[in-house]
Structure 1
Amino acid sequence: MKAIDIMTKDVITVEMDTRLPDVKLLMQQHQFHHLPVVDKGQLIGVISDRDLLRLVSPFIGKVNEQARDLDTLNRAAHQAMTRQPITVKADTDIKEAINWMLKTGISCVPVVDDEHYVIGIITWRDLIAHAKYD
């Protein structure tokens, strides 16, 4: 089985200057945990819900909110993303993608073409959905 066989093909991406509140809203609306970050269409990183939790102040909207808490919302996707993510090609054997995920502790692998444009994404949910049990 190849990456193209199980990848999600209609990938929503964000530009590198997309602000974190917009990233968070996209993730909530679509129930995503990962968003590829692109510059002129080419993959430059991945931002996850864990990245947002780590960077956005938990005091936003609370009584003890301060200006520095709101400043965390002014960050752009490129300031929160994982740079140079591990990627695979459409014809990569799915076992290789799984090995990368297990070896590095990541939970998604973008699928890119030769010019590094995103053509799909594989997440652990995709793997579970396509698992075969004997």
Structure 2
Amino acid sequence: MLVQDVMVKEVVCVEMDARLPEVKTILQNRGFHHLPVLEDGRLVGIISDRDILRLVSPFIGKVNEQARDLDTLNRAAHQIMTRQPITVKGDAEIKDVVNWMLKVGISCVPVVDDTEAVVGIVTWRDLINHAKFEF
């Protein structure tokens, strides 16, 4: 089975200058865990919900909120993204992607074409949904 057989083809992405509140809203409202970041239509990074949790102050909206807590919301996508994410092509074998995800400890792989444009995304959930188990 190939990546193109299981990937999600309609991928929501953000530009490098998107601000943290926009990124956070997209992740929350869409139920995503990963958001590709583009520059001129090319993949340059990826943001995970864990990146957001690590950066956003837990004091925002609380009585003890400080100005520095609110400053975290002014960050741009390019400041918080993982640069040069691991990617695959649509014709890659699923077994190779699974092995690679397990080896490097990632839960999502953007699928790109020859111009580095995002054409899909594969997450561990997509792989589980398409797995065939024998009991």
**TM-score range, shorter-chain basis?**
over 0.9
Cα distance in 2 for residues equivalent to 1:43 and 1:84 = 8
1:104 deviation in Å? 0.7
Say yes or no: does 1:23 pair with 2:9.
no
Give, as a single letter, the amino acid of the residue that structure 1 aligns with 2:31: Q
Cα distance in 2 for residues equivalent to 1:60 and 1:92 = 43
Q: Which aligned pairs between 1:70-89 and structure 2 lie closer than 5 A?
A: 70-89=70-89
TM-score of the superposed pair, with normalisation by structure 2: 0.98
Cα distance in 1 for residues equivalent to 2:3 and 2:120 = 9
Cα distance in 2 for residues equivalent to 1:45 and 1:33 = 14
1:126 deviation in Å? 0.2
1:133 deviation in Å? 1.2
Instruction: Give secondary structure in 1 for the equivalent of 2:4.
Output: helix
Deviations 1:30-84 (A, max 9, x none): 1000000000110001100000001111110000000000000000111111100
- Equivalence for 2:48: 48
Aligned residues: 134
1:88 deviation in Å? 0.2
1:100 deviation in Å? 1.4
Structure 1: stretches of 5+ with no match in the other structure: none
User: RMSD in angstroms over aligned alpha carbons?
Assistant: 0.5
1:123 deviation in Å? 0.3
Say yes or no: does 1:127 pair with 2:124.
no
Give, as a single letter, the amino acid of the residue that structure 2 aligns with 1:64: N
Cα distance in 2 for residues equivalent to 1:88 and 1:57 = 34
TM-score of the superposed pair, with normalisation by structure 1: 0.98
Which stretches of structure 1, 4 residues or longer, exceed 2 Å deviation after superposition?
none
- Equivalence for 2:38: 38
- Equivalence for 2:96: 96
Structure 2: stretches of 5+ with no match in the other structure: none
- Equivalence for 2:11: 11
